Amino acid sequence: MKKYIIAFSLIFTFSLSADGHSNVKPGEETGEFHYFNVTNPAKFVEAIDEHYASDCAAKWQKQSGAEVVLMQVLGSTHSHFIYVGYKNNDMLEKGRMLFGSCEESAKLIVKLNKYSESSDYVSRLGEQSLEVGDWTTDNYFMKFDFNVELGKASVYANEWTKMMNSLEQTNSAGLITHRAGSGWMSHFVYVGGNSIDDLYSTFDANSQTDAFQTFVKNVSSIRELRNVSLISPAKAYPSQR
Are 128 and 174 in contact, with CB atoms under 8 Å apart? yes
d(CA 28, CA 21): 21
On average, the pLDDT of the chain sits at: 90
Domains and CATH numbers, the chain: 25-237 (3.30.70.100)
Q: What is the pLDDT of residues 189-222, one digit of tens each?
A: 999 999 999 999 988 898 999 999 999 999 999 9
Q: What is the pLDDT of residues 104-113, one digit of tens each?
A: 999 999 999 9
* Bridge partners (DSSP) listed for residue 144: 189, 228
Are 187 and 147 in contact, with CB atoms under 8 Å apart? yes
Map residue 123 onto helix, strand or coil. Answer: strand
- 54 to 47, 85, 88, 93, 236: CA distances (angstroms): 11, 19, 24, 21, 16
d(CA 17, CA 232): 26
Q: What is the value of pTM for the model shown?
A: 0.88
To the nearest 10°, report the CA torsion of 57, 63, 69, 70. -20
pLDDT of res. 203: 85
The model's confidence at residue 136, banded by pLDDT at 50, 70 and 90, is confident
Strand 30-36 to 122-132 pairing: antiparallel
pLDDT of res. 22: 55
The DSSP secondary-structure symbol of 53 reads: T
Residue 136 Cα to chain centre, angstroms? 11
